[in-house]
Amino acid sequence: MFRILTSAVIVAVAAAAPVRAEDWALKMFDAQKHDFGKVARGAKCEYHFKFRNPYVEQVHVASVRSSCGCTTPTISKQSLETYDEASIVARFNTDQFLGQRSATLTVTIDKPFYAEVQLQVSGYIRSDVILSPTGIDFGSIDVGQASERTIDVSYAGRADWRITDVRSGSEYLEGEVTELSRGGGQVRYQLHVTLKPGAPSGYLKEQILLQTTDARAPELPVDVEGKIAAALTVNPALFLGVVQPGQKVTKMITVMSKKPFKITGVSSTDSSLTFQAPEKAAVVHRVPVVFTAPTQPGNVNYKITIATDLGKDVIGEVTAYAQITAPQAQAQLGQ
């Protein structure tokens, strides 16, 4: 369900409780704090503060700044239409700093109204452990494929330091370590990570945890990332708009694959939607969706299913959303 954000709403909130006037912006974020924990020097450490626009108005993120050079923030997408998702990506600069570090990331939003959201990050960068390369990156692989990567773990300190176990929070990731050398206060291991073929499509952002004999920092996290490309991708959500009963609107669905394909059928859970599927094979298809709004006001959503000649198991799905509003309510929007 989405919300209609109007200037009247913001003014009313501000008048009642000025310190809470930016609650509408805070509600877009899944989290406002993240602790990286104790990490190796030079390790690749990133956290994505995800946010989503649940409002009718477009949301625009003007900038993001950090209170400390230990963290570099970036914006994955600045302009968000209704139901669009994006992230503030916080990169912990483990190659430039050591010890306990923290930063406040201030996100400035200038549309539809001005607001600032503060995000907190912290962590401890160790000086005795180095990862090479800085993390596990599988790159882009096709769904259903397995992949393997290795990383070296170097430790300088106690002669009896050991990695005792490898743990993963994902059933599709498996890791094991091999000791390469030990002596002169130096210990080297090789971490071998396998991505199993059953992993679902989408962006992979996980961690492998190395269990060590260090009582002060028994776990050493290793970031794992990659992109598992689906055989067929469809734009994730379709906002049909705020419409009056009986009104017709036309929107587009984008369907893509790595090789040319035909769309053999498009169906929906409701007859309010009609489609015109392209006849020729292509790598990218734009499918027109004609929506005729039902007579009853309220929020509606429908599931659209797209069949292709890539195989009976290769289908696309997308959810379409709309708000049906009475004529008088439609006239008041934006006041």
Q: Label residue 307 exposed, middle or buried (CB < 10 Å: 0-12, 13-18, 19+).
A: middle
Of residues 17, 5, 2, the one with CA closest to residue 335: 5
Report pTM. 0.74
**Strand 233-234 relative to strand 248-261: parallel, antiparallel, unpaired?**
antiparallel
Name which residue leads in pLDDT, 88 or 12: 88
Q: In Å, what is the CA distance from 254 to each residue of 234, 236, 263, 289, 312? A: 6, 9, 12, 11, 20
Least confident of 5-9, 73-77, 112-116, 318-322: 5-9
Q: Which of 8, 112, 11 is nearest to 53 (CA)?
A: 112
Residue at token pair 């002060």: 216
Cα of first residue to Cα of last residue in the chain, in angstroms, is 22
Single-letter amino acid code for the residue at 267: S
Average pLDDT, rounded, for the chain: 88
Decide if 4 contacts 333 (C-beta within 8 A).
yes
Mean pLDDT confidence for 84-92:
95
Q: Could you give the CA distance from residue 247 to residue 101 in angstroms, rounded to a whole number?
A: 55
**Percent above pLDDT 70 for the chain:** 91
Structural contact between residues 286 and 252, judged by C-beta atoms closer than 8 angstroms: yes
Peptide bond into 112 cis (omega under 30): yes
Q: Which residue carries 């300088």 as its tokens?
A: 156
User: What separation in angstroms does the CA of 155 have from each of 49, 131, 152, 164, 177?
Assistant: 31, 9, 10, 14, 14
| CA 296/CA 281 separation, integer angstroms | 39
In this predicted structure, which of 16-30, 41-55, 72-86, 234-248 has the lowest mean pLDDT?
16-30
Amino acid identity of residue 103, one-letter, is: A
Could you tell me the pLDDT band of residue 37, with boundaries at 50, 70 and 90? very high
Q: How many residues in the chain?
A: 335
User: Does residue 80 have a pLDDT over 80?
Assistant: yes
- Residue 5 pLDDT > 70: no
CA distance 85 to 53: 7
Q: For residue 232, give the amino acid letter.
A: L
CATH topology agreement for domains 135-229 and 233-332: yes
* Among the ranges given (161-170, 252-261, 320-329), the one the predictor scored with the smallest mean pLDDT: 320-329
Superfamily per CATH, domain 135-229: Immunoglobulins (2.60.40.10)
What are the residue ranges spanned by the domains of the chain?
A: 7-126, 135-229, 233-332
Question: What CATH architecture applies to the domain 7-126?
Answer: Sandwich (2.60)
Residue 219 CA: distances (Å) to CA of 25, 36, 296: 35, 12, 56
In the CATH scheme, what architecture does the domain 233-332 have? Sandwich (2.60)
**Mean pLDDT of the region 217-222:** 92
Contact 322/290 with Cβ under 8 angstroms?
Answer: no
Contact 131, 189 (CB under 8 A): no
DSSP 176-219: EEEEEEEETTEEEEEEEEEE-TTPPSEEEEEEEEEEES-SSS-E
Nearest Cα to 304, choosing from 228, 252, 226, 242? Answer: 252
pLDDT tens for 106-129 read 999 999 999 999 999 999 999 999
Give residue 327's pLDDT band: very low, low, confident or very high (50, 70, 90): low
* Residue 183, phi-psi category: left (phi > 0), alpha (psi -120 to 50), beta (remainder): left
